[in-house]
Structure 1
Amino acid sequence: MTPRRSALAGLWLSALLCGGAAAAEDGPWQAPPLAELQQAADAGGAAAQYALAVRLEEGSGILQNFTLAAEWLARAAAQGHAGAQNRLGQYFHEGLGVERDPETALRWLEQAAADGQPQYLFDLAAVLEQQPGGGARAAALYQRAAEAGHRDAAVSLGVLYQNGTGVAQDLERARRLYEGPAAAGHPRAQNNLGLMLVRGEGAVQDYGRAAELFRAAAAQGLRVAMGNLGVMYENGFGVAVDEARAAELYRQAGQGGAAGAAGRALPASVYDPRLLPPGTGPEELEQLRSGARAGDPVAQFMLAWLYLQPEPDTVPQPQLQEAARLLGASARAGYPAAMANLGLMYFEGRALPQDYVLGYMWLVLAGTAGFDAAPQLGAGLSPRMTAAQIAEAQMMAAARAARNTAGN
């Protein structure tokens, strides 16, 4: 399967999962339990309709379903709910749960941005920036959002000034726009500022500080920064030459796990935080193997997780295959952490045929079953997929859940 990255891939999900402004404009209102939330949404409450759409989008205690989420967003948006208007615009831009419709997307994003929330200004600007002749208006919107403290907007505005897109090129201004977010730990700002320092653009060339910035961004999982830091080590720019370290950074940048829209690396495996880490002594391993043979899904998961712990490129293929078999058995028995790890193996094609649809299906089921890491993993991996693939995975998850319910 060929990976696909859409223009706004991951933006709306990252805003949701990071608890951005889009989820907070309604003040102290708190969503009730799911049954009450459904009742309030059916009764026409815009806040409840929006909250239900978010639950459907997240797959939080309910099967993830973008099509149903879009329907509830449309109801809330029609009542003037700015958060719903903003998110519905992103749905139409991406073609998630609805047919892709750029004009309708812009209409909803414009209505949301009229609310003045920095996140909504940023989201509209991110779409306008991609349109011919949209750079100037995008810059104005980024400026408004940045003045309100939106760091992503400041960085995006810096990129426009650095490249002269929609504004006159101004390298010094670009550098200043990166400085604040970089000092606050923003990885994209750190990487971009590092590149300017390497090139001597808008600032005196400073390899040492550039390497520090790349290192800080790489430590947060930004893969492009890992690659840039690798160049520094390979050539001795600001650091001592270290070809082994450079090679490791290149490997991490290119193959170090799945990555989301922002290029942040995702883990090859995830553990269940409710469990103590398994022991690796002979007696402890034998107990796990015995439990796994007896069909204990927890033992199957823990043993599989141990098999996956070496560096991804060093795990022997028979060990990978056994891990996949154990995770499959545990996942089919309903163990959420096994579902999530099985999904990761399908995404990466590790000991299994690479299949994004099956991988995402298992992540949807894991999230619905209460595995907290699953929605974030799905958000990071979904940019590889088309909207049709995501919809198919959600339908498959619903069908499997229905079969399991009927079997009970």
Structure 2
Amino acid sequence: MMPSWVLALTACLSGVGAQAVLAQQTVPPTQAHEARALQVPLARLESAAADGDAGALYLLGLRYHAGQGVLQDFGRAADLFAKAAAQDNAAAQAQLAKYLYEGIGVAQDIDTAMVWFGRAAQAGAAQHQFDYAVALENRPVGAVDPAHAAQWYQKAVDQGHEDAAVSLGVLYQNGAGVAQDLDRARGLYQGPAAAGNGRAQNNLGLMYARGEGVAQDYDRAARLFAAAADRGVAQAMTNLGVMYENAFGVPLDEARAGNLYRQGGRYKTEIQSNGPAAPLYDPRFGPPDTSPEGLARMMEAVRAGDPVAQFQAGWLVLDRGDATHRELVRAAQMLHAAAQAGLPAAMANLGWMYFEGRGLPQDYVLGYMWLMRASAAGLRDAVALNAVLSRNMLPTQVTEAQALAAQSHD
């Protein structure tokens, strides 16, 4: 049997502990809520929120949370969520809990966060029950409560929540908070795995690779790891690499194994795997004319101060992928001029350059600020790009970036 340390188990959707909760709160809670927030005119939301309407307070909070039509402002969002939460709006309670858990927009207060998680879960929505269970399972050392988490995962499972089933399966597989029951774990993984849940596929594959509660079956394990890898599960890529390196269920292929190891290690940081590919282009301008004559006209327009030409010229440099440092510095100058003129895509690409340190000193705060401004100007891809690039930022850096954006917006 393969040593247990060779393959690793993916226990949580986005890592463990507070990181998993942060990953959930840095994007709008649900597509339905986001769509609803955008459907209501901002002025109407602000008016209803001023009158104390809990639904309007929550939806307006989502606007500030995601920076949709307004400058992103977690502090303002937290205040709106708190007012709606006080009126027993469960969705607002869940969002406020995530903010308090991470210290986003407010001072970190895990104990109070747990109270709000619990109140939201008691309202009965499966997603809120799952969020509460995740927080219970991943509290700081000494406060972890896997037994209580298992109870809330089960409530969400009873309503058909796939990720709750996978998380509960992990607890049964490891005997954490519940008596170890490998048959129960396998049963919890099977439904979500068949439905295409990458976490479930990886974890079920691990059981077959180890022969844990099932007859050892490397062929089936490899197929499950491959399916999970196709869905972006980084650990599954690494696990599949182990299979190829050792010819477990697949032909020996060390080159492919090495490639899978590299993918598994870097996948979480690749923009193309998690959001829109950078650099971003604004299709309203049409494709740039890259003929010699077209490029000559473009550069003449750049020298004349045309912001569209500045944006297109800068974008062409970034899009090549092999620009020299001097060319990147010039591209940053052109994009900065176009951004100052109000072009959202120029703002977004400038922000990306700051995050990546391309042609500019790496600066997460300035990168976040420019992507915020692009989002507020209506560039939807900037929201997703910012969510990916800002994952390693500290809450204090986010707050500083939001303050800078507010100053530049005034």
Alignment match, 2:19: 6
Q: Is 1:50 paired with 2:62?
A: no
1:83-232 mapped onto 2 (5 Å cutoff): 83-131=91-139, 132-232=143-243
Task: Compare relative contact order (CA 8 Å, sep 6+) and give the higher one, 1 or 2.
Answer: 1
Distance 1:257 1:299 in 2: 34
The residue that corresponds to 1:358 in the other structure is: 366
Q: Which moved more, 1:373-382 or 1:218-227?
A: 218-227
Distance in 1, matches of 2:327 and 2:37, equals 50
CA distance in 2 between counterparts of 1:195 and 1:78 reads: 44
Q: Given the superposition, is the C-alpha separation of residues 136 and 397 from structure 1 closer, same or farther in structure 2, using an over 3 Å criterion?
A: same
Distance in 1 (CA, whole Å) between partners of 2:221 and 2:288 is 41
Counterpart check, 1:272 vs 2:285:
no
Query: Structure 1 residues 253 and 73, CA, compared in 2 at 3 Å: closer, same or farther?
Result: same
The letter of the residue matching 2:264 is A
Structure-2 residue corresponding to 1:405: none
Residue 354 to residue 241, structure 1, CA distance change in 2 (3 Å): farther
- Report the residue type matching 2:23 in the other structure: G
C-alpha contact 1:125 1:137 (8 A) present in aligned 2: yes
Which AA in structure 2 matches 1:299? A
Q: How many residues align?
A: 390
**CA 1:284–1:397: 2 relative to 1, 3 Å:** same
**Which region of structure 1 is more displaced relative to structure 2, 185-194 or 55-64?**
185-194
**Percent sequence identity over matched residues?**
53
Q: Deviations over 1:185-215 (max 9, x none)?
A: 2222233333333333333333444333333
Opposite residue 307 of structure 1, the aligned amino acid is V
Q: Which residue of 2 aligns with 1:307?
A: 317
Which of residues 73, 81, 85 is equivalent to 1:73? 81
SS at match of 2:316: helix
1-side partners of 2:373 and 2:77: how far apart? 17
Equivalent residue in structure 1 for 2:264, among 227, 230, 253: 253
CA distance in 1, matches of 2:38, 2:310: 39
The change in CA–CA distance for 1:80 and 1:292 in structure 2 (over 3 A counts) is same
Counterpart AA for 1:308: L
Q: Give the partner amino acid of 2:58.
A: Y
- For 1:35 and 1:19, locate their aligned partners in 2 and report how far apart those are by CA, in whole Å: 21
Relative to structure 2, which stretch is displaced further, 343-352 or 111-120? Answer: 343-352
Give, as a single letter, the amino acid of the residue that structure 2 aligns with 1:47. Answer: G
Unaligned runs of 5+ in 2: 1-16
Report the counterpart of residue 393 of structure 2 in structure 1.
385
Amino acid at match of 1:80: D
Q: Is the 8 A contact 1:73 1:85 kept in 2?
A: yes
- Are the counterparts in 2 of residues 133 and 166 from structure 1 also a CA contact under 8 Å? no
Amino acid at match of 1:348: E
Pair 343,242 (structure 1): closer, same or farther in 2 beyond 3 Å: farther
**1:279: Cα distance to partner?**
5.6
Provide, for residues 302-356 of structure 1, a one-character-per-residue CA deviation record: whole Å limited to 9, x for no partner.
3333333456xx6544444344333333222221122222222222223322222
1:267-300 C-alpha deviation (Å, 9 max, x unpaired): 4433335454446544444444444444333333
| Contact preservation (8 Å) 2:67, 2:375 | yes
- Structure 2 vs 1, CA of residues 75 and 270 (structure 1 numbering), >3 Å: closer, same or farther? same
TM-score, with structure 1 as normaliser: 0.85
- Whole-Å separation in 2 of the counterparts to 1:155 and 1:32: 36
- Tell me which of 303, 308, 316 is aligned to 1:298: 308
Give the secondary structure class of the aligned counterpart of 2:71.
coil
Residues 308 and 174 of structure 1, relative CA distance in 2, 3 Å threshold = farther
**Contact 1:346–1:352 (8 Å) recurs in 2:** yes
Distance 1:256-1:298 versus aligned 2 partners, 3 A rule:
farther
Does the C-alpha gap of structure 1 residues 134 and 274 become closer, same or farther in structure 2, counting only changes over 3 Å?
farther
Provide the C-alpha distance between the structure 2 equivalents of 1:185 and 1:397, rounded to a whole number of angstroms: 40
Alpha-carbon distance between aligned partners in 2 of 1:160 and 1:393, rounded to the nearest angstrom = 39
Query: Equivalents in 2 of 1:30, 1:367: separation in Å?
Result: 13
TM-score, normalised relative to structure 2: 0.84
SS for the counterpart of 2:305 is coil
Give 1:406's aligned residue: none
User: Which of 342, 346, 355 does residue 350 from structure 2 map onto?
Assistant: 342
Any stretches of 5+ residues in structure 1 without a counterpart?
A: 403-408
For 2:365 and 2:63, the matched residues in 1 are separated by 21
Cα deviation, residue 58, structure 1 = 1.0
